[in-house]
Amino acid sequence: MPKVSVYNVQGKVAGDMELNAAHFGVAVKPSLIHEAVIAQEANARHPIAHTKTRGEVRGGGKKPWKQKGTGRARHGSIRSPIWVGGGITFGPRNVRNFGVKINRKAKKKALFMALSDKLAHSKLFVTESFSNNPMKTKAFASFIASLPEKRTTLYVIPSSRPELVRAARNLDQVFVVTANSLNVVDVIRYDAIVFEKDAIGAFETLHAA
């Protein structure tokens, strides 16, 4: 069973905690993590660019001139794609689907691999619950600074806590998520992952076999 040190609110080691090997002791396969990241980012993508075809552009209902006798090329509409102001041929449309399918078990496995990699490189920490009423940004920033990892931090809590989210909102290097919304993209995006002790239990219960 993998072990991790538990830090108190002063940033001092207060003990050890055993983690579930099925979640935090998984052999890392970079190709699977890459597949999960690509799928998550693709599925979050919403097409914005949208061009109009000749049938959607305003105007052009009348034939610009008669078919024969003018000496000019024949045209049926001034909104033809070859006219300035006409429709667009093969332009981007907002109905495009960028979705990428990935097996649900593979997606979960990739998350466990990413967390296992953080633990193996001493970038995963567990802390006692940080409770300060009322919650202040300065106090939370001081608490994060007391931990060994001083770079970007993903702070995981067991359940929604709006006051803590507000306290962390002005900290550029810290992002707070609940255990049930933890995902592989966030795990690899931040340098360190900090779990509250109760969040470990919530995460392991959520992903129990």
32 closest CA partner among 93, 108, 88, 94 = 108
Indicate whether 167 and 112 sit together in one domain.
yes
DSSP tag of 46: -
Looking only at Cα atoms, what is the longest distance across the chain? 95
Indicate whether 115 and 87 sit together in one domain.
no
- Strand ranges (DSSP E) for the chain? 3-7, 13-18, 124-127, 153-157, 174-178, 192-196
The predicted pLDDT at position 209 comes to 63
CB contact at 8 A, 37 and 60: no
Indicate whether 7 and 87 sit together in one domain.
no
Bond preceding residue 134 cis, omega within 30 of 0: yes
Q: Along the 209 residues of the chain, how does pLDDT read in single tens digits?
A: 888 889 887 778 888 889 999 999 999 999 999 999 999 999 999 999 999 999 999 988 899 999 999 999 999 999 999 999 999 999 999 999 999 999 999 999 999 999 999 999 999 999 988 766 667 888 888 888 888 776 899 999 998 888 888 888 888 889 999 999 999 999 999 999 999 999 999 999 988 76
Q: Is 140 helix (H, G, I), strand (E, B) or coil?
A: helix
Indicate whether 113 and 62 sit together in one domain.
no
Q: Which of 73, 97, 121 is the last residue of a domain?
A: 97
The whole-angstrom separation of Cα 33 and Cα 114 is 7
User: What pTM did the predictor assign?
Assistant: 0.82
The predicted pLDDT at position 143 comes to 84
The predicted pLDDT at position 134 comes to 66
Number of domains in the chain: 2
Indicate whether 128 and 196 sit together in one domain.
yes
* Helix-then-strand count for the chain, H and E: 7, 6
Domain that holds residue 55: 47-97
Indicate whether 21 and 53 sit together in one domain.
no
Indicate whether 9 and 53 sit together in one domain.
no
CATH code where residue 163 lies: 3.40.1370.10
Indicate whether 127 and 178 sit together in one domain.
yes
Indicate whether 138 and 197 sit together in one domain.
yes
Q: Which of 62, 97, 132 is the last residue of a domain?
A: 97
Segment (H or E) for 31: helix 30-43
Indicate whether 129 and 153 sit together in one domain.
yes
Indicate whether 22 and 110 sit together in one domain.
yes
Indicate whether 72 and 171 sit together in one domain.
no
